[in-house]
Amino acid sequence: MYRVGVDIGGTFTDLLMLGQDGRTVIGKTLTTSSDPSLAVETALRQALGEGVTKPCEPGELIHGTTLVTNVIIERKGALTALLTTAGFRDVLEIGREKRYELYDLNLEPPQPLVPRYLRFDVPERILADGSVLQPLDEAYVQRLVTELRDKGIKAIGVCYLHSYRNPEHERRTAEIISKVAPDIRVSLSSDVVSEIREFPRTSTTVANVYVQELVANYLTKLQQRLDSLAFVGSFFVMLSSGGIATAETSARFPVRLLESGPAAGALAAAHAGVRSGHPNLLSFDMGGTTAKLCVVEKGQPLKTHEFEVDRVYRFKRGSGLPIKIPVIDMIEIGAGGGSIAHSDSLGLLKVGPKSAGVEPGPACYGYGGEEPTVTDADLVLGYLDAKFFLGGKMRLDVEAAHRALDRLAKPLGLTTEQVAWGIHQIVNENMANAARVHLGERGKDPRHMPLFAFGGAGPVHGYRVAEVLHLPALISPLGAGVGSTFGLLVAPLAFDFVRSAYSRLDSLDWGFANALLQEMARQGRMVLENSGLAASEISYRRSADMRYAGQGHEVSVPIPNRILDERDIPPLTAAFEQIYRELYARAGPDVPLEVINWRVVASGPQPEMHFRPTPARTGETAKKGSRLVYFPEYGSFVETPVYDRYVLRSGMSLRGPAIIEERESSLIIGARGQARVDEYLNVIVKFADA
């Protein structure tokens, strides 16, 4: 059996195929945004022709896609109605009642996916303990749904207060809808995210049903294309959590597909880290417009349950629609190769957040861009080779880059080279500053984590970012430019469940908690067995979100896989206190604990990846030439050796300053760098003492 990962990005659709014998095929084709499944078919057809598979050999396709993000950002989803507890139809619009930016008087709040005229108060009320204060007015629901059906509404989200505690009214509402209007898609908040706090729960539920039809149609279409290729085997979709799910599960909970591409990138970094003996690292994926950082610990990327989509201010927390899904915890920084440099009203050099994008692109692309970008600076500094960009497929215009930088240099009183190095340095600093805050918020000390750099610009900037952060090393994989697709092939089948049941730990109803945990595990087993796993292959990870009574933020505490009772209070307390100390570097107060949520993750085994790197070309010297490159250690341009990435063999070592070039990226090694190639052809750069 062969396995193949396909990741649809904004510009390119990347493919990685892994044959039974460990041989690989890498594919890259332009994304077809009007029908993204077409590019998948094209890439797959090409790869199948490469001869690593036999005809009729069963395959396994794992797919990452930005479809859900795009549908939400472009507001292309179904016309959706929302049913809420009477008195609460504005939950989506009232939100957190907080401005996300202090000084912008003209800020715009994020626009809810459901307009106010489609948000309806339904007479019913359940209290925090699950008891019914007011029964559901079924006749009202029937009348409302009939009208919605007759007016062409295609999707309904239902979110009643405290449904995480008692979902009865939501379920009854779904029954009525399916009777009155069987064609309308319905998402219940108690199914999508059974978690306390009505605003994020409503927002997530609505997003789920809003994108559902398009996602279902897309997955069906993709399946048809696979059928037409005579693809035999199974087809899975990458989730934001780093697990994979069947197309059927994905179509039920499409909101969990958000961020599936970047999640794959972090997984790839984690996997490569484990293999090269670095289970803890900082994954650094830098592309044309943004960079993403993620902490990997013990071989696993950190996870969170808070996410936002469609931010009005792209990188500002609070400016997007909140989505409660398990998601790999990444920080996105608005800095990439296309970021534009400018001088501000204080006469300082600034980089970003404006980006030249693909059109017009950096000045050196020659597509009409005139503003100086990070890529232009990298070119002028000698980090990029004008003749070997994308392996020589694209020629860069050094003169245009110089002109763009000159215009900026003059008012700042700097030379072109100074401004180029300034841009390079400032963008690295921005990255490092964001990383410090991200790490600090999570109580992580990066000094033992190497930086794992990939993406088109990651290896160009990784050395300096690692240096500024005092990280011990820099690791860059072979094929850094298409790094994300590796992650698709190492993800296990997995699905996350959550149920809120707010209680003090010392007065917890253990029977109820056990029932919730068992119910979630049962659902997990069902989902995974339906995906083709045997019961014996499924493992369960349980956790409880706990906090000191009255605190605002919860801490996730692992709990054992068995029936719990009051004898578990001391070990749970101890586990909570230990995690709390790790996070906050101090003991907490003498305050009782409370449990907010119970969680279960059901997962299958992590696939073994028998990846056999294509052997290095032999008989050639690794050094393919040299050129003048700027290194701040020398304060000037120095003649620097350039190595061919495809000739580097395991065990080789070299010293900075040096450049290692591959088709999609260049790895820059500064003067203190001592690089060695490991058996998986990762380049590992350590810093000699200055």
Partner 1 sequence: MPEMLIDSVILEVIWNRLLSVANEQQDALLRTAFSTIVRESEDLACGVFDRQGRMIAQSLSGTPGHINSMATSMRHFLVAYPQERLAPGDVLITNDPWMTAGQINDITVTTPIFKNGRMVALFANTCHAADIGGRILSAEAREVYEEGLRLPIMKLFDCGKPNTVLLEIVKANVRQPDEVLGDFHAQTACNDAGGRALLEMMEEFGLESLDAVAEEIVSRSEAAVRNHIRELPDGEYHSETWSDGFEEPIVIRCCCRMAGDEISIDFAGSSPQSSHGINVVLNYTHAYASFAVKAAVYPEVPHNEGSFRPVHVTAPPGSILNAIDPAPVASRHAMGHFIPSAIFAALAEALPGRLVAPGADPIWLSVWRGNNPSFTISIFQVGGMGARPTKDGINAIGFPSGVAGVPAEIIESLSPLVMRRRQLRPDSGGAGMWRGGLGQLTEFTKRAEGRWSVSCIIDRTKFPAPGLFGGKPGARGEFILDTGARPNPKEQVDLQLHQVVHLNTPGGGGYGDSFARDPERVRQDVIAGYITPEAARDCYGVIVRFTSREGQLVRLPDQWVIDEAATAELRRATLRPTGE
Q: Among residue numbers 119 through 178, which ones bind partner 1 (CB under 8 A)?
A: 120, 127-128, 133, 143-144, 147-148, 151, 153, 161-162
Query: Which residue from 9, 10, 109, 472 is in contact with partner 1, where contact means CB under 8 A?
Result: 109
Q: Rounded CA gap, 571 and 559, in Å?
A: 9
Query: Which residue from 182, 550, 570, 635 is in contact with partner 1, where contact means CB under 8 A?
Result: 550
Structure tokens at 75: 């507001």
445 binds partner 1 (CB under 8 A): no
- State the nearest-atom distance from the C-beta of 486 to partner 1, in Å: 32
- State the nearest-atom distance from the C-beta of 78 to partner 1, in Å: 15
Query: Which residue from 227, 370, 441, 620 is in contact with partner 1, where contact means CB under 8 A?
Result: 441
In DSSP notation, 17-69 reads EE-TTS-EEEEEEE--TTSHHHHHHHHHHHHHTTSSS-TT--EEEEEE--HHH
Query: Which residue from 75, 76, 116, 410 is in contact with partner 1, where contact means CB under 8 A?
Result: 116
Residue 586: count of CB within 10 angstroms of its CB? 8
Q: Rounded CA gap, 97 and 109, in Å?
A: 10
- State the nearest-atom distance from the C-beta of 197 to partner 1, in Å: 5
Number of residues that bind partner 1 (CB under 8 A): 79
- State the nearest-atom distance from the C-beta of 344 to partner 1, in Å: 7
116 vs 562 by CB, closer to partner 1: 116
Q: Rounded CA gap, 438 and 687, in Å?
A: 24
426 binds partner 1 (CB under 8 A): yes
| Radius of gyration of the chain measured on its C-alpha atoms | 26
Question: Helix, strand, coil shares of the chain as percentages rounded to 5?
Answer: 35, 30, 40
Binders in 489-508 for partner 1, by CB under 8 A: 502
- State the nearest-atom distance from the C-beta of 30 to partner 1, in Å: 37
Options 3-11, 203-211, 221-229, 338-346: segment touching partner 1 (CB under 8 A)? 338-346
Q: Rounded CA gap, 144 and 86, in Å?
A: 13
Contact 331, 438 (CB under 8 A): yes
349 binds partner 1 (CB under 8 A): yes
526 binds partner 1 (CB under 8 A): no
435 vs 684 by CB, closer to partner 1: 435
Write out the E strands in 461-514. 473-476, 494-504
- State the nearest-atom distance from the C-beta of 422 to partner 1, in Å: 3
344 binds partner 1 (CB under 8 A): yes
Query: Which residue from 178, 433, 518, 578 is in contact with partner 1, where contact means CB under 8 A?
Result: 433
Binders in 189-218 for partner 1, by CB under 8 A: 196-199
Helix (H) or strand (E) holding 283: strand 281-286
- State the nearest-atom distance from the C-beta of 440 to partner 1, in Å: 5
Spatial CB neighbours of 496, under 8 Å, sequence gap ≥ 6: 241, 243, 326, 599, 600, 601
127 vs 526 by CB, closer to partner 1: 127
103 binds partner 1 (CB under 8 A): yes
Structure tokens at 201: 């729960």
148 vs 681 by CB, closer to partner 1: 148
Options 259-267, 287-295, 353-361, 429-437: segment touching partner 1 (CB under 8 A)? 429-437
Convert residues 396-425 into a mask of x (bound to partner 1 by CB under 8 A) and - (unbound): ----------------xxx---xx-xx--x
Binders in 75-94 for partner 1, by CB under 8 A: 81, 86-91, 93-94
63 vs 89 by CB, closer to partner 1: 89
- State the nearest-atom distance from the C-beta of 466 to partner 1, in Å: 14
- State the nearest-atom distance from the C-beta of 592 to partner 1, in Å: 13
98 binds partner 1 (CB under 8 A): yes
Query: Nearest-CA neighbor of 376 among 313, 368, 384, 303?
Result: 384
Spatial CB neighbours of 97, under 8 Å, sequence gap ≥ 6: none
Options 62-70, 342-350, 388-396, 444-452: segment touching partner 1 (CB under 8 A)? 342-350
According to DSSP, residue 394 is labeled: B
- State the nearest-atom distance from the C-beta of 577 to partner 1, in Å: 14
Convert residues 272-291 into a mask of x (bound to partner 1 by CB under 8 A) and - (unbound): --------------------
Convert residues 353-392 into a mask of x (bound to partner 1 by CB under 8 A) and - (unbound): ----------------------------------------
96 vs 179 by CB, closer to partner 1: 96
Contact 21, 14 (CB under 8 A): no
- State the nearest-atom distance from the C-beta of 323 to partner 1, in Å: 16
594 vs 644 by CB, closer to partner 1: 594
Spatial CB neighbours of 15, under 8 Å, sequence gap ≥ 6: 4, 5, 6, 7, 25, 26, 27, 28, 29, 43, 44, 47, 485
Please confirm whether the linkage preceding 360 is cis (ω < 30° from 0).
Answer: yes
CA-angle at 3, arms to 680 and 615, nearest 5°: 30
- State the nearest-atom distance from the C-beta of 463 to partner 1, in Å: 16
Q: Rounded CA gap, 216 and 204, in Å?
A: 18
437 binds partner 1 (CB under 8 A): yes
Q: Rounded CA gap, 200 and 675, in Å?
A: 47
Binders in 229-258 for partner 1, by CB under 8 A: none
Query: Which residue from 429, 519, 537, 554 is in contact with partner 1, where contact means CB under 8 A?
Result: 429
Q: 545 has which bridge partners?
A: 556, 597
584 binds partner 1 (CB under 8 A): yes
635 binds partner 1 (CB under 8 A): no
Sequence-distant contacts of 613-616: CB under 8 A, at least 24 apart: 613/24, 613/478, 613/680, 613/681, 614/23, 614/24, 616/646, 616/647, 616/648, 616/649, 616/681
99 vs 610 by CB, closer to partner 1: 99
| Sign for the pseudo-dihedral over CA of 452, 457, 462, 468 | negative
Q: How far is CA 337 from the centre of its chain?
A: 20
52 vs 323 by CB, closer to partner 1: 323
Strands 623-631 and 636-644: antiparallel
Contact 282, 452 (CB under 8 A): yes
463 binds partner 1 (CB under 8 A): no
Options 15-23, 43-51, 98-106, 366-374: segment touching partner 1 (CB under 8 A)? 98-106
- State the nearest-atom distance from the C-beta of 628 to partner 1, in Å: 21
473 binds partner 1 (CB under 8 A): no
- State the nearest-atom distance from the C-beta of 53 to partner 1, in Å: 50
346 binds partner 1 (CB under 8 A): yes
Contact 640, 621 (CB under 8 A): no
User: What's the Cα-to-Cα distance from 424 to each of 65, 352, 408, 421, 655, rounded to whole Å?
Assistant: 31, 12, 14, 5, 22
Q: Rounded CA gap, 302 and 430, in Å?
A: 22
- State the nearest-atom distance from the C-beta of 348 to partner 1, in Å: 4
Strands 281-286 and 451-454: parallel
